A = this chain, B = another copy of it.
Amino acid sequence: MQKQATINDVARIAGVSKRTVSRVINGSLSVGDNTRQRVEKVISELNYSPNTQARGLASSRSYLLGLIYDNPDALYLDDVQRGVLEVCSNLGYELVVHPCRYRSETLVQDCLRFMRRSKLDGVIVLPPVSELEALAAALKDAGRPYVRLSSVAVDEPKHIVVSDDRAASAEMARYFAQLGHEKIAFISGPKPYKSATERMEGFQHGLAAYGIKVPPHWIIEGSNTYESGIECARKLLLTESRPTAIFAYNDHMAAGVLKVAHELGIKVPEQLSVAGFDDNLLASRIIPALTTIRRPVRQMALLATTKMIMAIEHNDKAAANVAAKVAPTLVVRESTARLKPVN
């Protein structure tokens, strides 16, 4: 276990002051070319890397980003995380993951405390936590860089990456209508989630263009889980007259619908079309493969992280210039089909 080289070692060996070494490390321009090279040589010879804690203490930078979320589904989180980490590792940041409780009284304090304690340079906040205005306000107030992911543009472009769930849902509506469906149901996510509203309204609006209306008793609110999907599907499918098509809030819930249909011997897509939202791993692997909306989660994460780092390093409008909106797209697979004439 050899002792780690410090800036003093580098300075001594290179025959300069540590202030100069510091300049080299931080890419200051006012360092003579040969001095710089000499120092760099020593740095690499010693395999020196600066102590981030000391650096942070002196300059209030930690090169740490935080990811704040509450109980997201595994597939979504993984996608996000990969996206964030891709940027992080390229730009020399590390990522600290931090779950929290959306409904907790102390959520805002907890998050601020987390940022302070870990001295994060910035945080990325995932839905549904990202939809809490109180948190955003506190973050802004505390002067901490943050970026949120959301389904609605609730913040300045500098601080948000939005996916247009509304438009995508309308597209799904159009697709359903064009397949000839008229008896259509919608399984919604938790009411407080903005995405739930967006998707529902977008869908309804899209159907309205074809003169189709989803009757109130066919709009079922669930949570966002598979189990909830099963429950909601039962309500819809265990009746005399059932819908011919169901659009679910997400893929997990759609999988639940598939499960129930299978149990009841309802053939998908022959007798029932089912679609989800997200296009997560499950969607393409389940049988029948799920028609769904692909949400470019990874890309959102990339954009968010880029924004974040722009804001940190250039502390100006650069962040606002990174794209703030992505468009989810329809992916047609096997779980939806044209309505057969009943003959």
Chain A residues packing against B (C-beta within 8 Å): 1, 4, 49-54, 56-57, 62, 64, 74-75, 77-79, 81-82, 85, 89, 94-99, 113-114, 116-119, 141-143, 226, 255, 258-259, 262, 281-282, 285-287
Contact = CB atoms under 8 A, between A and B. Distances in A.
A95 B89 CA distance: 16
A51 B287 contact: no
Nearest to A82: B99
Grouping DSSP codes into helix (H, G, I), strand (E, B) and loop, the A interface class, with mixed when no group exceeds half, is helix
A282 B255 CA distance: 10
Contact of A89 (B62, B85, B99, B282): B99
A285 B255 contact: yes
Number of this chain's copies in the assembly equals 2
A78 B97 CA distance: 12
28 contacts: A1-B141, A1-B142, A49-B116, A49-B117, A51-B119, A52-B53, A52-B117, A53-B53, A53-B57, A54-B57, A74-B74, A74-B281, A77-B78, A82-B99, A89-B99, A94-B96, A94-B114, A95-B96, A96-B96, A226-B285, A255-B285, A259-B287, A262-B287, A281-B282, A282-B282, A282-B285, A286-B286, A286-B287
Contacts of A114: 94
Contacts of A51: 57, 119
A142 B143 CA distance: 38
